[in-house]
Amino acid sequence: MEVKTSLLDNMIGVGDMVLIEPLSEDTFIENLKKRFDHNEIYTYIGSVVISMNPYKSLPIYTAEKVEEYRNRNFYELSPHIYALADEAYRSLRDQDKDQCILITGESGAGKTEASKFVMSYVAAVCGKGQEVNKVKEQLLQSNPVLEAFGNAKTVRNDNSSRFGKYMDIEFDFKGDPLGGVISNYLLEKSRVVKQPRGERNFHIFYQLLSGASDDTLKKLKLDRDFSKYNYLSLDSATVNGLDDAASFRTVRNAMQIVGFMEDEVQSVLELVAAVLKLGNIEFKPESRCNGFDESRIKDKNGEFCSVHFNYHSYHLFHGFSFIFLFLQDNSFEQFIINYCNEKLQQIFIELTLREEQEEYIREVSNSQYMKTNRKWSSLNVCNSNKFIARYGVCSKLVFSSKQSLSTICFLLSILPLSRCLLIHLSTILVYICPLHVFCCLTVYHSLLNVVYVVMAPPTAGFQFRASVGTLMKNLLTKNPNYIRCIKPNDKKAAHIFTDSLVCHQARYLGLMENVRVRRAGYAFRQPYEPCLERYKMLCKQTWPHWKGPAREGVEVLLKNLQVPAEEFAFGRSKIFIRNPRMLFFLEEKRRQCLEDLATLIQKIYRGWKCRTHFLLLKKSQVVVAAWYRRFAQQKKYQNIRSSALVVQSFIRGWKARKLLRELKHKKRCEEAVTTISAYWHGTQVRRDYRKFFRANAGKKIYDFTIQRIMQKYFMGLKKTMPSMSPVDKSWPARPYGFLDGMHQDLRRIFHLWRCKKYRSQFTEEKKATYEEKLAASELFKDKKALYPSSVGQPFKGDYVEITKNPKYQKLNSLVEDKVLLADVVSKINRANGKGAPRIFLLTKKSFVLADQKTGQVKASVPLLDLSSVSVSTQSDGFFGSTSAAKGDFLLSSDRLIEIITKLHRIGAASADRNQINIDISDEFLVQFKQDKVCVKFIQGTPKNGNGVACKRKNNRLLEVSVPSP
């Protein structure tokens, strides 16, 4: 968040009207309008705050704003009501000066809201603690109570204060609130019995009827129907039951926090109910025998007293009301309120002049002050005399032209005796004569204590004179702070600025005169420290640090800038600048200097950045060179090592071949000995056999015959032996029947031996492939028509070359485990049965579906969540998977047998998951999002020839046509 260091930074318009150039009423109003259009609702006239009602909520009252303005110089930040509140609070806390904040303005200008902001700021910055928080809460909660009994809806303001409020808060030496006294002035009591059109009575009457419980209303003998009470306005635009109901609960809670006892709260509500009932009493005219008129109550039930009053009539004045619509009937209370406002205006002018004069006396010696400020002193006397001549003599009327004099005379001629006309600072107003004193004496004798206290015998005029005197005395003994509230339009709407209305308020508030008073001497003043801190970059002697008193630094600075001596003056703690042009000259020089400094900073930063980049490149080049030299040496070493290995292998080969030749020669010698020995033994055996045969010529002939048959059988079997292929089922026929058993055993033994020899040739990878083929046979043989065509296909696994294809390198890096199968499949769409190409990756833990073009992962399903896979009995490649987390998928692949076999084998080989169930059926269900769809396979002739076609029958059926085998 940007934090300003002066009200001159990023200023919209002019933040202090004293600095406006040139000064005129038009530039004054234009500056207010410009700031208002940019939501800058606060503007200074020296230490006076002008507040424009924005008629909308603005984010400028947050806790961050409170901390931003806390303990800051008044002119250090942009204009804000928090700056004035902080200045007043710190003067009270640190200098022990009593402070008062005067908030003035028209109805609807935002006086009530301004007072709330001041109170909330003081509550936020003062101390904490249980007792302190209790006092702060009581002071803050007094507002809802006072507004309920003193505010009403008017044509100018929905929450118009119909009384003056003076809140006196006492603080201890630490600046913590100890308590407070709230005094109200000039309550408009006549509003209770009469409200102008479009306005309504005090809030409490509507709040009571809208928000009180049924039991409370029953005890007070009231009804929620507003039409039953004559004192309440019945305009639909003025009644808001929901807001009133909520406000009543807020008021009840606030009364308890402030300190009202329950019986006191009940007494107040009884008084409000009594006033509502009094309004329903009707009078009728009667003539007495002596000729005088009198008034009597129509309903004679109950207690009453007879008083001789005329039955008044207002028809005469109402007959002219259509001509002078700008004239309204105003009560005596409104008259004294307006008179009090003019007294406050007089106090404002007087204290403003005195404050300005004391500022010069405090900062400048008397001789220098009289010498350099004669112009301001003469203006001071002139303004005071003008004010007395215009506003101080009540017996005289001052008119600007003969036309205005004739207008006043005409108005006086048509007014009835019950009216009077007065000219105020703001406008011309017509007033009704006050209530007869006997009415006050009558209700004064009520038995209700609250009524006795409220309706004391002193008249309103007497009370007004005493209270205004006390108020003026209090204001004159305190250090004043001013907030001048202005409403921008009469429509109570945001973003509307009526120039004539604002100009009218500025005139009678005396804002232009206040600006001229401040500009008569020196237009701008600032303490030496912040002035030097802001402009020290304009002089080499003061930049970047000035060692010495701040005043001397400012003197050196202005001398270096060659500022004329008559344009400024030195006070005890502040520098005084006579003309705003001089200040703007300093600001322009500062802006140019800041641009130069920014350029210098950018240059230094760019140089640092380029040098840093160069050093990084240099370091990177050294690292790259080192790595390259390392790589080159590694390649050289590998080449030398490879060459050495080749030479060694050739030498070992030569030695091995030499040894082999020697071993072969030795073996042939040994075999020759064995052969000779065998022939010799054979000769001996044949000789012995002949001897034995001659000796056993009878029985031995049969044995010899059998031996000859067996020898012939084995020799013939050796010549007709089938091939070593395990799939070769041929076997030579037996020559004799009695050899059948042995013939079959030999066939079985030979096949087992042949299979063993065949398996011994396999690698581990080939063994796994045949094991998968065997598993596929167990799953699909004689169960699915597609299986025979897959027998001759090798199970390669990677059909898209995912490790070599650069298009899928990112996809391969995303898969954590080894890819067991990678192929292109079609993901069947539920809407039209068409397939979208997807990359199908299978690992030991999951299978992944990715976009074929971009390689972006579309779905990843853990195999732990895969419970079953469904396929048909036909020659199609469709299969549906059921997953608990991702839902179901309907896919199609030309390598269905291999995909399902690998899925089944992974489930069977894992100990931490259940085996995946393979469901082979021509109908199975697939869950598409929220709907279950039946996929049905039928034999037919698709439109596309011999391919498989999908057709959507309805929301629950997807029909797949498979060509007949």
Residue ranges for the binding site for ATP? Answer: 105-112
Q: Distance between CA atoms of 825 and 852, rounded to whole angstroms?
A: 9
**DSSP, residue by residue, 454-510:** HS-SS-HHHHHHHHHHHHHHHHHTSEEEEEEEE-S-SS--TT---HHHHHHHHHHTT
Amino acid at 296: R
Positions at the binding site: 105-112
Q: Distance between CA atoms of 191 and 200, rounded to whole angstroms?
A: 8
Cα dihedral 247, 248, 249, 254 in deg (nearest 10): 90
**DSSP, residue by residue, 524-557:** EEEEHHHHHHHHGGG-TTTSS---S-HHHHHHHH
Return the SS3 of 436. coil
Supply 358's token pair.
């004391």
Burial bucket for residue 506 (CB in 10 Å: 0-12, 13-18, 19+): buried
| Cβ neighbour number for residue 44 with a 10 Å cutoff | 23
Alpha-carbon distance values, 178 to 135, 181, 475, 517 (Å): 7, 11, 21, 38
User: Does the N-terminal peptide bond of residue 963 adopt cis geometry, omega within 30 degrees of 0?
Assistant: no
- Of the candidates 535, 472, 395, the one whose C-alpha atom is nearest the C-alpha of residue 100 is 472
Supply 667's token pair.
């073996």
Tracing tokens 């002008």 back to the chain, one arrives at: 50
β-partners of residue 423 are 428
161-164, Cβ contacts within 8 angstroms, sequence gap of 24 or more: 161/107, 161/111, 161/112, 162/187, 162/188, 162/191, 162/202, 162/333, 163/187, 163/188, 164/337, 164/340, 164/471
Contact between 231 and 205 under an 8 Å Cβ cutoff? The reply is: yes
Contact between 109 and 506 under an 8 Å Cβ cutoff? The reply is: no
β-partners of residue 958 are 935, 952
Contact between 804 and 933 under an 8 Å Cβ cutoff? The reply is: no
Q: Distance between CA atoms of 827 and 839, rounded to whole angstroms?
A: 10
Q: Distance between CA atoms of 505 and 511, rounded to whole angstroms?
A: 9
DSSP-derived pairing of the beta strands 479-486 and 48-52:
parallel
The b-or-e profile of 656-677 (16+ CB within 10 A means b, else e) is eeeeeeeeeeeeeeeeeeeeee
DSSP-derived pairing of the beta strands 821-828 and 151-152:
unpaired
Residue 762 DSSP class: -
β-partners of residue 927 are 932
Alpha-carbon distance values, 33 to 28, 83, 206 (Å): 9, 22, 37
CA–CA–CA angle 190, 194, 200 (5° rounding): 105
Burial bucket for residue 226 (CB in 10 Å: 0-12, 13-18, 19+): middle
- Of the candidates 110, 111, 201, the one whose C-alpha atom is nearest the C-alpha of residue 164 is 111
Contact between 163 and 331 under an 8 Å Cβ cutoff? The reply is: no
Supply 354's token pair.
């005195």
